[in-house]
Structures are given as C-alpha cells and as structure tokens.
Amino acid sequence: MIEILSTYVVTLVTFLDIDCWWLVWMAKQTYTTEIGGLLRDRPNFLAGAAFYLLYSAGLVFFAVRPGLQGSSGLLALGLGAALGLVAYGTYNLTNLAVLNSFNLCLALIDMAWGTVASACASAIAVIAMRGIFAG
C-alpha cells in the first residue's frame, strides 16, 4: 500500500511540476491570444486540483505501474505518451468540434504538450520510484 501511495504522490508532484511550468512560462501567451475570451480572470483551483488528482491516478494506473512492473522507464514513457495523446486529444478535439473560438493550431499544440508531459512524468516517476525502493 505504501508503494502505490508513494508512486501516486511522486507521479502527481512530477506531472504538476511539468505542467505548471508549461502553463506559467510557455503557454500562457498562446492561450490568451487564441482563446482569451474563454479564459477566466482567475483559474478555478478546485477544478484544477481535481484534474491533477484524477489524471495522475490515470498515469499511475495506465503507465507508471506497468513501467515499474516491467522495470522499464521506456515502457512508462510510451504508455504515458499514449494516455496523454488520448486524454488531451479527447479534450481538444471536442473543443474544436463545439467551440467557435477554438482552432486547430491550439488543439495540436495542446495535444502535443499533453503527450510529452504525460510521457515525461511517467518515465520520471518510474525512475524515481526505482531509486526510492532500490535503496
């Protein structure tokens, strides 16, 4: 039980760090330019927290645990990328289908980011957990 909880916390912190870096330093201007009218003045932190908690659980279940079981950061990287593409693709393609102000360029950027961030967080979590439980 302690291993799964530790794995979850490591994955959550890793993904949160990576994604917050992206949102604060890289994507803020793009999102503001492309969909500024849809953005809140202040983020809904409760909804954001719920996303990070849920999505990190998905990363653990679908990518990190299989990577740990197979002793492969590369497996976690691939599975994390697949989950990121599916999850972020579902979100962005739905937005593209129903929102007037959403465009293909933004959808592709966000899908690529979700794929990369999920892959990296999963692989880093596997490497970190192997280090934690190896010693």
Largest Cα–Cα distance of the chain, in whole Å? Answer: 53
Question: Could you tell me the pTM of the whole model?
Answer: 0.93
pLDDT digits (tens, 9 = 90+) for 2-17: 899 999 999 999 999 9
* Percent above pLDDT 90 for the chain: 76
Q: What is the DSSP letter of 56?
A: H
| Cα 59 to Cα 53: distance, rounded to the nearest angstrom | 10
Domain ranges of the chain: 2-134
pLDDT digits (tens, 9 = 90+) for 43-64: 899 999 999 999 999 999 999 9
C-alpha closest to that of 57 among 121, 112, 12, 107: 12
Distance of CA 82 to the CA centre of its chain: 11
Residue listed under structure tokens 């999505």: 55
